[in-house]
């Protein structure tokens, strides 16, 4: 099931995407999905970020390939940082460079939470997950190297593209993800290369941080990060989810 959030006229709604048709959901897709007998054509709506997170909890150095690429040791526990809700944009929205010298893409497998989660076991972790989406952890690389913490480098406005949908029915431990810069393949990985998989991340994060419905876990980027400039396009494709496409303004 593909859950989308979209605007049509003056309204913002959630729905279930099936081909070129969207069936409207009553309210938000949690705690349960209530379908209405109302439909829109996909061509009639503007897709938005598929959720409205109170926060994004992002994970650093969580692919073995990225640890090797950056000459960093494999972490013994997840490395967490925040990206604010104000950094979120949807598919086809513009990424704005706020003045950094190097603006990088980072293709990531996003996890969307559906129920308040605190001190969740790995065994029960997926019960709290609504589904999965594409996430671009846009990064001002020069600011990341310069600043003692990453709020500016990782959390500036437009630095969290999400979309195009939330797919509820894929295996988070065996999903193919690709990243394309101006149509050229730059990143390709299966989530079985994650150092800490989705159940481990949900359990670890909720030891310390309460996750709320709509919150997102950005699970880390694989090898192949690189710079974008004005006019460039970056696309993230996840098997079963679709394509998140954004252009640098």
Residues contacting 5, CB < 8 A, separation 6+: 12, 13, 14, 15, 47, 48, 49, 50, 51, 52, 90
pLDDT tens-digit map of 61-80: 999 999 999 999 999 999 99
User: Given pLDDT bands bounded at 50, 70 and 90, which one contains residue 148?
Assistant: very high
pLDDT tens-digit map of 93-110: 999 999 999 999 999 999
Angstrom distance (rounded) from CA 25 to CA 15: 5
Angstrom distance (rounded) from CA 168 to CA 173: 13
How confident is the model at residue 44, as a pLDDT? 97
How confident is the model at residue 149, as a pLDDT? 94
How confident is the model at residue 27, as a pLDDT? 97
Angstrom distance (rounded) from CA 89 to CA 113: 18
Domains and CATH numbers, the chain: 2-47 (2.30.30), 55-248 (3.90.850.10)
User: 95-120: string of b/e by CB count within 10 Å (b at 16+)?
Assistant: bbbeebebbbbbbbbbbbbbeebeeb
User: Given pLDDT bands bounded at 50, 70 and 90, which one contains residue 30?
Assistant: very high
Q: What is the chain's mean pLDDT, rounded?
A: 97
pLDDT tens-digit map of 191-224: 999 999 999 999 999 999 999 999 999 999 999 9
How confident is the model at residue 99, as a pLDDT? 97
How confident is the model at residue 18, as a pLDDT? 97
Residue 79 contacts residue 60 (beta carbons within 8 Å) = yes
Alpha-carbon torsion 22, 26, 27, 33, what sign? negative
pTM over 0.75: yes
Nearest CA among 17, 61, 37 for reference residue 169: 17
Percent of the chain with pLDDT over 70: 100
């Amino acid at each position: 099931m593909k859950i989308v959030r979209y605007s049509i006229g003056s309204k913002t709604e959630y729905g279930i995407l099936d081909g070129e048709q969207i069936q409207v959901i009553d309210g938000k897709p949690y705690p349960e999905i209530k379908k209405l007998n109302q439909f829109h054509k996909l061509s009639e709506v503007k897709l938005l970020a598929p959720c409205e997170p109170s926060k994004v909890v992002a994970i650093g150095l969580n692919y073995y390939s990225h640890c090797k690429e950056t000459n960093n040791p494999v972490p013994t526990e997840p490395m967490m940082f925040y990206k604010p809700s104000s950094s979120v944009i949807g598919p086809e929205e513009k990424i704005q460079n706020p003045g950094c010298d190097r603006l990088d893409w980072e293709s990531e497998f996003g996890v969307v939470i559906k129920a308040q989660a605190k001190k969740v076991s790995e065994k029960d972790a997926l019960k709290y997950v609504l589904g999965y989406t594409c996430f671009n952890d846009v990064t001002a690389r020069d600011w990341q190297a310069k600043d003692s913490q990453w709020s500016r480098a990782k959390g500036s406005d437009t630095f969290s593209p999400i979309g195009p949908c939330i797919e509820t029915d894929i295996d988070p431990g065996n999903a193919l993800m690709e990243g394309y810069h101006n149509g050229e393949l730059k990143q390709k990985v299966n989530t079985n290369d994650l150092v800490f998989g989705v159940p481990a991340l949900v359990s670890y994060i909720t030891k310390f941080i309460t996750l709320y419905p709509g919150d997102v876990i950005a699970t880390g980027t694989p090898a192949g990060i690189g710079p974008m400039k004005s006019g460039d396009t970056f696309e993230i494709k996840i098997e079963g989810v679709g394509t998140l496409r954004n252009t640098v303004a």
